[in-house]
C-alpha cells in the first residue's frame, strides 16, 4: 500500500509542474451557453451532428439540445407503469444508436436513432452479466462499457448484449475500484475510469489490465474529490472533479495540463462557475464541452479559448468547512441536533436550545482510519445512552461514539465525542443473517426501544441491531407492490413506537409498517387538491402525532396525521424563508420544532408544526436570503 501511495504522488508531482510549462494552445473552458430548469441531468453526450443528449433522471426523458442548448426534441423512456426508472448515463455509437444506463432498473436501455426502444441489456445482480446502480457509460467499436458502481467494477458488453469479463473489484489497491461513476476510452481502446470514492483516475489497457493511476483526495491542482464524470479527446482526459467544483484536464499519462471553473459565489449562479459538476462530454471536433450539474439542474457549454490564463481563472485551492454545506442526514435528541458536512467529512453537533442553534462540537476528517470518514450516509442519536451512530458507506462501516458534555455555560466542547467501536457493513455474517445480497448501505437510521434500526437502501431491507450492534431482526422485500421497497430514503418511528414510517424516493411513496415489517397503510394525498410526494427524501414523526415528509423533487414539506391523512403542505423552489431546493432530512424536537435540511440551499430551516418559519442557519449567503425575505412586511 505504501508503494502505491508513493507511486501515486510521484505522478501528481510531475502533473503539478506541467500546466504552465508549455506554451498554451487553444483549450476548452470559455463559457458560451447555459440551460437551466432541467430535472436532475445526470449524463450528457454529443451526437455526430453536434447536438447534445441530456439524461434528465427525475423526468425520465432524454432531451436533445442544439449546440446553443436550445431544445430540439425529447424522448420519454418507456417502462411498465409503476416501474422505477432513473436514466443517469448516455452514449451514442457510430450508427447513431443511443445507450442509456438506468440506475433504478439496473440495466442499459438501447434506443434506435429515432429514440424507439430496441433492447435492454443486463439485470440486477452481482454476476458477470448483471449490474447494480450503473452510472457512466461509453461505447467503443462493438463494445459497451458501463461503470457498475454498486458492484465496484466496469462491465463490458458486446453491442448485442453478450457480457465480457468485468474490470476491477472493490478495494483501494491498484486495479481495484470504489464506486466508479465514469468511464471513457481512447482510440487505442485504453480504458479510463473515474474511481470516485478512491478519488483518483485509473487507466487500463484494452484487455482490462491495469496500466497506471493518478490523483488522490485533496483540493490542490492534480488532486481530486469525488471525480464523477470523465471524457477523452485528442490525447487528453477530462475529469469532472465534483466536490472541487472544477474540470481538470490531464494527459493520457496523468500529467495535469490545465483546469477550469470556479466555485459559485452567489447562490445558484452559473455562467462558467460550477456547483458540483457531475458529468461531461466533448464534441467530436473538440470545439465544445458540455458539463452537467445535476445538483443545480442545469447544463453548461464551454468553447475554445486561445487567450491568456486569466480568461479561464483556475479554482484557488480551498479546504472545505469554511461554510456549512450540510448533507441530507440529520438526527435530534437531548437538546442536540446532529448534521454532516460532505465536503470536509465532518459530523457537526449543535445545541438547538438557542433561537439559532449553536455548533458546540465537530469531529471527523477524510480518511479510512477509525474516527475518519469517506461518505457519511446517516446519523442517529441515542440521547438516553449518550451515544451517536454514524454510517460511513464509503468505508463500509457503522461507527458508535460516546458523547459527554461539560457543566456550565454553553460553549464549544472539543472533547465531547469519543470513539467506542465500529462494525463492518460488508461482514459476511451480517449480510447472510440480514438476507442482504450487497454490503449494507444505510440511507437513514433511528434508535427505538428495540435497538438501532438501519434503513438499507441497497438491499431494500430494514435491519435492527442490539445495543451491542448485533443483528436481531431483518425484514423487507424489493419490489413495486404494496408493502415492498425499492430504494428507501427515510425512516421515522411513530409517537407510540408501534409504527415505522418509511419514505421510498424511487417509488415516490411513504408507507407505515409495524416494527416487524407488516405493511399497515400508505400516507395519502387528495389527488384532486394536491400532488403527492414525487421524490420523498426525509420523514419525521413527532410529539404532535403528525408525520412530516420532505419532497426533493417538488421542494416542499408535506404534513400528515399518523393515520396517514393529509393535513397540509408548505414550500416551493427558491431561496426565501419557507422555500427550499431539494430538501433532505427532517426531524421534530421534543418541543415541537421542525428542522428541515434545505440540502440544495446549504442551510437548515426551522418551523413550528404549522409550517411557520422561525429561523435558519447555514452557509451565510443562503441563510441571509431567508432572513431578508422573512423580515419583509
Q: What confidence category does residue 189 fall into, taking pLDDT thresholds of 50, 70 and 90?
A: very high
For 354-361, what is the mean pLDDT?
Answer: 94
Query: CA angle 532-537-541, nearest 5°?
Result: 85
Task: Provide the 3-class DSSP secondary structure of residue 60.
Answer: coil
Residue % of the chain over a pLDDT of 90: 85
Task: Provide the 3-class DSSP secondary structure of residue 201.
Answer: strand
Q: What is the pLDDT of residue 83?
A: 82
**What's the CATH code, domain 327-631?**
2.120.10.30
From residue 43, alpha-carbon distances to 55, 61, 65, 261, 347 in Å are 5, 11, 13, 19, 31
What is the pTM assigned to this prediction? Answer: 0.93
CA-based R_g, the chain, Å: 24
Is the separation of the CB atoms in 305 and 26 below 8 Å?
Answer: yes
Is the separation of the CB atoms in 419 and 399 below 8 Å?
Answer: yes
For 463-484, what is the mean pLDDT?
Answer: 96
Q: What are phi and psi of 403, to 5 degrees?
A: -120, 140
Is the separation of the CB atoms in 536 and 569 below 8 Å?
Answer: no
Distance CA 360, CA 148 (A): 40
Least confident of 298-312, 343-357, 503-517, 560-574: 298-312
pLDDT at 527 over 90: no
pLDDT digits (tens, 9 = 90+) for 437-466: 999 999 999 999 999 999 999 999 999 999
Q: What confidence category does residue 322 fall into, taking pLDDT thresholds of 50, 70 and 90?
A: very low
Q: What is the pLDDT of residue 496?
A: 86
The two domains 30-303 and 327-631 share their CATH topology (first three levels equal): yes
Residue % of the chain over a pLDDT of 70: 92
Q: Label each residue of 606-628 as H, E or C.
A: EECCCCCEEEEEECHHHHHHHHH
For the chain, the domains span 30-303, 327-631
pLDDT digits (tens, 9 = 90+) for 103-122: 999 999 999 999 999 999 99
Domain 30-303, second-level architecture = 6 Propeller (2.120)
Task: Provide the 3-class DSSP secondary structure of residue 431.
Answer: helix
Amino acid at each position: 500500500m505504501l508503494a502505491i501511495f508513493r507511486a501515486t504522488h510521484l505522478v501528481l508531482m510531475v502533473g503539478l509542474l506541467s500546466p504552465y510549462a508549455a506554451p498554451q494552445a487553444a483549450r476548452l473552458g470559455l463559457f458560451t451557453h447555459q440551460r437551466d430548469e432541467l430535472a436532475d441531468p445526470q449524463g450528457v453526450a454529443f451526437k455526430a451532428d453536434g447536438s447534445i443528449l441530456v439524461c434528465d433522471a427525475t423526468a425520465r426523458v432524454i432531451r436533445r439540445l442544439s449546440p446553443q442548448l436550445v431544445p430540439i426534441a425529447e424522448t420519454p423512456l418507456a417502462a411498465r407503469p409503476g416501474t422505477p426508472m432513473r436514466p443517469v448515463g448516455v452514449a451514442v455509437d457510430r450508427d447513431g444508436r443511443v445507450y442509456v444506463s438506468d440506475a433504478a432498473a439496473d440495466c442499459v436501455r438501447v434506443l434506435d436513432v429515432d429514440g424507439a426502444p430496441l433492447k435492454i441489456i443486463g439485470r440486477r445482480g452481482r454476476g458477470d452479466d448483471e449490474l447494480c446502480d450503473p452510472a457512466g457509460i461509453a461505447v467503443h467499436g462493438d463494445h459497451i462499457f458501463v461503470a457498475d458502481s454498486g458492484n465496484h467494477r466496469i462491465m463490458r458488453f458486446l453491442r448485442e448484449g453478450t457480457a465480457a469479463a468485468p474490470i476491477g473489484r472493490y478495494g483501494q489497491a491498484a486495479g481495484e475500484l470504489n464506486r466508479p461513476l465514469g468511464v471513457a476510452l481512447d482510440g487505442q481502446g485504453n480504458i479510463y475510469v473515474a474511481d470516485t470514492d478512491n478519488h483518483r483516475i485509473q487507466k487500463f489497457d484494452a484487455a482490462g489490465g491495469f496500466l497506471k493511476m493518478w490523483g488522490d483526495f485533496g483540493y490542490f491542482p492534480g488532486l481530486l474529490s469525488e471525480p464523477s464524470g470523465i471524457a477523452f479527446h485528442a490525447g487528453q482526459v477530462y475529469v469532472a472533479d465534483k466536490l472541487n467544483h472544477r474540470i481538470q484536464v490531464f494527459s493520457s499519462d496523468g500529467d495535469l495540463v490545465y483546469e477550469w471553473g470556479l466555485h459559485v459565489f452567489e447562490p445558484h449562479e452559473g455562467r462558467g462557475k460550477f456547483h458540483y459538476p457531475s458529468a461531461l462530454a466533448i464534441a467530436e471536433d473538440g470545439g465544445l464541452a458540455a458539463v452537467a450539474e445535476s445538483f443545480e439542474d442545469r447544463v453548461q457549454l464551454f468553447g475554445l479559448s486561445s487567450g491568456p490564463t486569466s480568461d479561464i481563472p483556475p479554482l484557488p485551492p480551498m479546504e472545505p468547512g469554511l461554510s456549512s454545506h450540510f448533507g441530507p442526514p440529520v438526527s435530534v435528541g437531548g437538546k442536540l441536533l446532529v448534521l454532516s458536512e460532505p465536503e470536509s467529512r465532518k459530523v457537526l453537533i449543535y445545541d438547538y436550545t438557542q433561537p439559532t442553534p449553536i455548533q458546540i462540537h465537530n469531529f471527523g476528517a477524510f480518511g479510512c482510519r477509525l474516527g475518519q470518514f469517506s461518505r457519511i450516509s446517516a446519523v442517529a442519536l441515542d440521547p438516553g445512552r449518550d451515544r451517536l451512530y454514524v454510517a460511513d458507506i464509503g468505508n463500509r462501516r457503522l461507527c458508535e461514539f460516546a458523547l459527554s458534555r461539560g457543566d456550565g455555560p454553553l460553549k464549544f466542547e472539543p472533547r465531547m465525542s469519543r470513539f467506542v467501536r465500529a462494525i463492518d457493513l460488508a461482514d459476511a455474517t451480517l449480510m447472510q443473517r440480514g438476507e442482504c445480497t450487497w454490503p449494507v448501505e444505510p440511507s437513514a437510521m433511528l434508535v427505538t426501544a428495540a435497538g438501532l434500526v438501519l434503513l438499507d437502501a441497497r438491499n431494500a431491507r430494514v435491519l435492527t441491531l442490539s445495543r451491542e450492534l448485533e443483528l436481531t431482526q431483518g425484514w423487507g422485500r424489493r419490489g413495486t407492490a404494496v408493502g415492498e421497497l425499492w430504494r428507501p430514503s427515510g425512516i421515522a418511528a411513530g409517537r407510540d413506537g408501534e409504527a415505522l414510517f418509511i419514505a421510498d424516493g424511487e417509488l415516490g411513496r411513504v408507507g407505515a409498517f409495524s416494527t416487524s415489517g407488516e405493511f399497515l397503510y400508505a400516507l395519502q394525498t387528495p389527488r384532486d387538491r394536491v400532488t403527492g410526494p414525487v421524490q420523498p427524501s426525509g420523514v419525521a414523526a413527532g410529539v404532535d402525532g403528525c408525520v412530516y415528509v420532505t419532497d426533493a423533487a417538488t421542494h416542499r414539506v408535506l404534513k400528515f396525521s399518523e393515520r396517514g391523512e393529509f393535513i397540509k403542505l408548505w414550500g416551493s423552489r427558491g431561496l426565501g424563508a419557507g422555500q427550499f431546493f431539494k430538501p433532505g432530512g427532517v426531524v421534530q424536537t421534543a418541543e415541537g420544532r421542525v428542522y428541515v435540511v434545505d440540502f440544495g440551499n446549504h442551510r437548515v430551516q426551522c418551523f413550528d408544526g404549522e409550517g411557520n418559519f422561525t429561523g435558519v442557519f447555514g452557509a451565510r449567503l443562503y441563510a441571509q436570503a431567508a432572513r431578508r425575505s422573512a423580515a419583509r412586511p
